[in-house]
A and B are shown apart, each in its own frame.
Chain A
Amino acid sequence: MSTDDAHDPKFGEYGGQYVPEALMPAIEELTDAYQRYVLENEDGFMDEFRERLADFGGRPTPLQYAEQLSARYDTDVYLKREDLLHGGAHKLNNALGQVLLAKYMGKERIIAETGAGQHGTATAMAAAHLDMPCEIYMGETDIARQRPNVFRMRINGSEVNPVTVGRGTLKEAISETMRDWATTVENTHYVIGSVVGPHPFPKMVRDFQAVISEEAREQAIEKTGGLPDSVLACAGGGSNTMGMFAHFVDDSEVDLYAVEAGGSSLQVDEAEGVAPNSATLSTGDEGVLHGARTKLLQDSDGQIMESHSVSAGLDYAGVGPELAHLVDEDRVTPVNVDDDAALEAFHRLSQDEGIIPALETAHAFGYLEQHHDEVGDTVVVNVSGRGDKDLETVIEETSQRDLDIAPDMSLFERVGGGGL
């Protein structure tokens, strides 16, 4: 959904450019490049991007009718299969776009941050594909729970720099990547992994991801003869969400649900500075973090809270400013499901449809399980990524719970658990 507003940094009151002065010239340079290459297709940038998305990335991804779920919910459920994109998640759309843009801008080095590792993996793949050196910052906690993706980044030739401050998750990794960028800004491009950060990142990442809803909308019309009643996508920072919603925003008859991580509880422990969830749209307050004004999980003083989700990819205290704006405008409905519901949905989709989803994605299906009566006769759910990366977490978390739907875990325990 390209727009011609490259120089408008705001979504209502949200967005903006709250960064150290040293970064501002690079952000102005990037805004100019976004205008020329992405919005105006200068030098055929968008043509090359789309060609590489097709040949290297495997687009278009299918819109699949989910037979078992449709029967279970008595609702036509369609799955946008971003898990089939190269790398196993929607993240490649943005990573490929930004690394290619960096190349057009004459940058010599790529840095990125990652939470679940999917963005880091996608960036490492795009950097290898386009022959750019790449370093990725990742919190220690996330490195421990996302080992397969760490290894994939290394295999693709990227350096992975552990971040040890704080709780060692995405928020700390973003801060650390901004510090690197402030030091190397003259030759380095920072590939932000979601629709967050200072302008133009929220708009530019949305535009790179909007290919998801561009395809899904056309495919839905082709398959069903009309638009769906509802579109569901999980929401952490919000890149698959905005990608999935972008081309439906103007279709007022389509309900848009952003499904957040309810974690273990929606209650916060302000004294400890901990929110046991990542439900920023549902429970956060307006503030300024990582370059943008948006909704945040913060205490009454404005200190950012540690968030929680069983899914590393949703475990972030902020959210994209455009999503915050669309929620305020009542265009997007923020909802959430807890860790247990997401895990149950993970197993259900795996067993019923033969699709092992990312734990992020499983949140959207958890909401569908609980609220299928409310989403209309036709619903499209974005399968934002595949779940291979989450198997160690799923084994550990499933072992700690009594889930009827889960497979018998005793086999894993007999052979020592974990260690895939």
Chain B
Amino acid sequence: MGLERAFADEPAFVPYLAAGDPNYEASLEYVEALARGGADVIELGLPFSEPIAEGKTIQNAIVRSLEAGMTPDRFFEFVEDLDVDVPLVCMTYYNLIYQYGADEGPRPFVEKAAAVGIEGLVVPDLPAEEAGPLRRACDEFGLDLVFIVAPTTRGDRLERMLEQVSGYVYVQARLGVTGAREDVDDATEESLARLSDWDVPKAVGFGIKTGDHAERIVAAGADGVIVGSALVDIVAEGHENGDSVEAVADRLEAKASELKDGALRGASEQPQPERT
């Protein structure tokens, strides 16, 4: 349980890509480009056929990855083949985790994830109420379990989540599904305020597209920014235009640098710049 370390010294940049999008080999290059661009944690999507929390951009990425043959076992190979020195988090839906173990529940998936070097899980369709078996498996194998706090999350639900969350908390910046936006929502600051006394890093995601967004999010008090769709857009455009893997990787690295730099600027604007 060590993802907190990625947030210890400076605001963390946490990019997301769907593993295997648009194909296995290119995707390896793209994830490694994010690491070169300054990623502190990388969220790797393990594609599920019914991604109900995702917007069009990531839905399409998931379709491309599945059509290129991604499976849970291929995903674990993918993680082993990656040459990055950045903590990796697997983001997927509960049925894949559950089904991997046949009759044994989520434990075999977590065991395998730990064996290949995954350090944490984010499961968008698993609220705290249903997370007991997965939390126990994560405890057994030393994985963090990241929960998503929504703008609608209040009261008892926050308490329940606080009991189970580890690594970092994923603060959903706005209602809705994933997807890059042109502005930053006021809900972000309200959500961060509700979590101000939580002793776990707070990473904000959903809709962050530019370095300026990242700057504002961190200036508002976030410990990190999570960016998915804006990066997946680069992969999608490169794929549609037939660009070389190298060219797309360069663009991803540049975008990652822009977002990381924005987060760093935001840190200098925080009311209390000393960080623990």
The docked-state distance in angstroms from the alpha carbon of A241 to that of B164 is 38
Partner among A20, A25, A166, A185 whose Cβ is within 8 Å of the Cβ of B125: A20
Q: Does A21 lie within 8 Å of B52, measured CB to CB?
A: no
Q: Which of B27-35, B137-145, B169-177, B227-235 contacts A (4 or more CB under 8 A)?
A: B169-177
Knowing A17-B130, A21-B147, A298-B99 are in contact, say whether A288-B153 is a contact too (CB < 8 A).
no
Bound-state CA distance A298–B71 (Å) is 13
- In the complex where A20-B125, A288-B125 touch, is A185 in contact with B152 (Cβ < 8 A)? yes
Interface of A is mostly: mixed
Is there contact, CB below 8 Å, between B99 and A301?
A: yes
Q: How far is the CA of A311 from the CA of B147 in the complex (A)?
A: 40
Instruction: Identify the interface centre among A17, A171, A178, A303: most chain B CB within 10 Å of its CB.
Output: A303
| B50 and A304 contacting across the interface, CB-CB below 8 Å | yes
Whether a CB of chain A sits under 8 angstroms from the CB of B96 is: yes
Q: Classify chain B: how many residues form its interface, as a range.
A: 35 or more
Across the interface, name the chain B residue whose C-beta is closest to A16: B130
Q: A21 to B95, Cβ gap below 8 A? A: no
Alpha-carbon gap, A185 to B151, bound state (A): 11
Task: Report yes or no: B53 in contact with A20, Cβ–Cβ below 8 A.
Answer: yes
Q: Does B154 contact A (CB under 8 A)?
A: yes
- Measured between beta carbons, the chain A residues less than 8 angstroms from B71 are 301
Rounded to whole angstroms, the CA-CA distance of A175 and B55 in the bound complex is 11
Closest-CB distance, B127 to chain A (whole angstroms): 5
Q: Kindly supply a per-residue 1/0 record for chain A positions 1-40, scoring 1 wherever the CB is within 8 Å of any chain B CB and 0 otherwise.
A: 0000000010000001111111011101000000000000
Task: Answer yes or no: A144 CB below 8 A from chain B CBs.
Answer: no
Tell me whether chain B's interface is mostly helix, strand or loop, or mixed.
loop
CA distance A171 to B51 in the complex (A): 11
B126, CB-defined interface residue at 8 Å:
yes
A137 → chain B, closest Cβ, in Å? Answer: 12
- B157 lies within 8 A of A25 (CB): yes
Within 8 A of A (CB), among B9-61: 48-55, 59
B99 close to A17 (CB less than 8 A)? no
Q: Does A175 contact B175, Cβ atoms closer than 8 Å?
A: no
Q: Is B86 part of the binding interface, using a Cβ–Cβ cutoff of 8 Å?
A: no
Please give, as numbers and ranges, the residues of chain A lying within 8 Å of B72 by CB-CB distance: 301-302
Distance of A288 Cα from B127 Cα, bound (Å): 13
Please give the distance in Å from B91's CB to the nearest CB on chain A. 13
Q: Are A21 and B172 in contact (CB under 8 A)?
A: yes
Flag if A22 contacts B125 (CB, 8 Å).
Answer: no
B153 touches A24 (CB 8 A): yes
Chain A residues with CB below 8 A from B94, complex form = 18, 288
B150 at the A/B interface (Cβ < 8 Å)? yes
Are A22's CB and B172's CB within 8 A? yes
Report whether B98 and A302 are in contact in the complex, using a CB–CB cutoff of 8 Å. Answer: yes
Chain A residues, CB < 8 A from B53: 20, 179, 182
For B121, the chain A residues whose CB sits under 8 A away are none
Min CB–CB distance A322 → chain B (angstroms): 18
Task: Pick the most buried of B52, B153, B154, B157: most chain A CB atoms within 10 A of its CB.
Answer: B52
Most central of B49, B72, B73, B93 by chain A CB within 10 Å: B49
Instruction: Tell whether B66 is near chain A: CB-to-CB under 8 Å.
Output: yes
Q: Which residue of B lies closest to A20 (CB)?
A: B53
Question: Which of B48, B127, B149 counts the most A-chain CB atoms under 10 A from its CB?
Answer: B127
29 example contacts (A-B, Cβ-Cβ < 8 A) are as follows A17-B127, A20-B52, A20-B124, A20-B150, A21-B147, A21-B149, A21-B150, A21-B152, A22-B150, A22-B152, A22-B172, A24-B152, A25-B157, A175-B51, A178-B52, A179-B54, A179-B176, A183-B176, A183-B177, A288-B95, A288-B98, A290-B50, A290-B52, A301-B71, A301-B73, A301-B96, A302-B98, A304-B49, A304-B50
Which residues of B approach A to under 8 Å, CB–CB?
48-55, 59, 63, 66, 71-73, 93-96, 98-100, 124-127, 129-130, 147-154, 157, 161, 172, 175-177
Instruction: Give the 10 A-B CB pairs with smallest separation, nearest first.
Output: A302-B99, A22-B150, A183-B176, A288-B95, A303-B49, A20-B53, A302-B96, A178-B52, A25-B152, A302-B95
